[in-house]
C-alpha cells in the first residue's frame, strides 16, 4: 500500500475498466438505470477463497484494480459478493468490509463530501484496527490499512483531487 500518485499496477490487465466511474448524481446508476454500465448483468454467486491465495481470486484483484484507478463504487461491488461469502465475524469478512468502507469513502471524495469521507474512513479504521497484524489477509496489512484510514479521517482529500491518495498494493 502506498500514498504516492504514480500509476498503480494492474493485477488483472486483461479485464477492462467500465466506461465511467460511477458518482451519484453525475452518471447513470450502473445497475438500476438502463444506460448504466452494469445494467442487466447478473451477479456472480459469492464464493470464499482462502485469503492467503488472493492472487487466484479474480473478484478481489478486480476490486483492487478498480479501487486503485478511482472506480470506487465499482470496487465496492466487486468486493461485496466476496465479503458475503465469509462468516460475518471472520477476519476475512472484517478486512473486506473495511475495504468496502474505504471504497465508500472514495465515492464520497469524488462527490466532494469531506464529512462522508471521514465517516466511512473511521468505520474502515475500526474494522482494520480490530484485526491482528499477523492476519495479513489478501496480501494487505491491517495495521497499514488502519493507519491510512485514520489519516483520511483527519485529512480528507480536497475537492480538487477527486479521489483518494491511496493505492492498494497487495504483496
Query: Between residues 46 and 49, which one has the greater pLDDT?
Result: 49
- Give CA–CA dist 130/1, Å, rounded: 19
Q: What is the pTM of this model?
A: 0.89
What are the structural domain ranges in the chain? Answer: 52-154
- Give CA–CA dist 5/7, Å, rounded: 6
Length of the chain counted residue by residue: 171
Q: How far apart are the first and last CA of the chain?
A: 9
In contact, 117 and 154? CB cutoff 8 Å: no
Q: What's the confidence (pLDDT) of residue 157?
A: 78
Query: Between residues 118 and 29, which one has the greater pLDDT?
Result: 118
Q: What's the confidence (pLDDT) of residue 134?
A: 73
Cα-based angle 133, 129, 114 (whole degrees, multiple of 5): 135
Q: What's the confidence (pLDDT) of residue 44?
A: 67
The pLDDT tens digits of the residues spanning 74-114 come to: 999 999 999 999 999 999 999 999 999 999 999 999 988 88
Q: What's the confidence (pLDDT) of residue 2?
A: 47
Sorted by sequence, the CB contacts under 8 Å of residue 133 that are 6+ apart come out as 141, 142, 143
Give me the mean pLDDT over the 134-146 stretch.
89
97's grid cell: 468490509
Q: Which CATH class is domain 52-154?
A: mainly alpha
Amino acid at each position: 500500500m502506498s500514498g504516492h500518485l504514480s500509476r498503480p499496477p494492474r493485477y488483472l490487465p486483461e479485464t477492462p475498466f467500465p466506461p465511467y466511474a460511477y458518482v451519484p448524481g453525475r452518471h447513470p446508476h450502473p445497475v438500476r438505470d438502463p444506460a448504466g454500465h452494469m445494467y442487466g448483468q447478473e451477479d456472480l454467486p459469492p464464493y470464499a477463497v482462502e485469503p492467503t491465495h488472493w492472487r487466484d481470486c479474480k473478484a478481489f484483484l478486480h476490486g483492487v484494480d478498480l479501487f486503485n484507478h478511482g472506480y470506487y463504487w465499482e470496487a465496492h461491488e466487486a468486493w461485496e459478493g466476496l465479503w458475503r461469502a465469509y462468516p460475518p465475524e471472520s477476519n476475512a469478512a472484517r478486512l473486506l468490509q473495511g475495504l468496502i468502507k474505504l471504497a465508500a469513502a472514495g465515492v464520497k471524495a469524488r462527490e466532494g463530501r469531506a464529512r462522508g469521507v471521514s465517516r466511512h474512513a473511521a468505520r474502515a479504521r475500526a474494522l482494520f484496527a480490530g484485526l491482528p497484524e499477523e492476519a495479513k489477509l489478501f496480501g494487505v496489512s491491517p495495521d497499514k490499512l488502519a493507519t491510512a484510514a485514520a489519516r483520511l479521517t483527519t485529512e480528507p482529500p480536497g475537492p480538487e483531487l477527486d479521489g483518494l491518495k491511496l493505492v492498494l498494493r497487495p504483496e
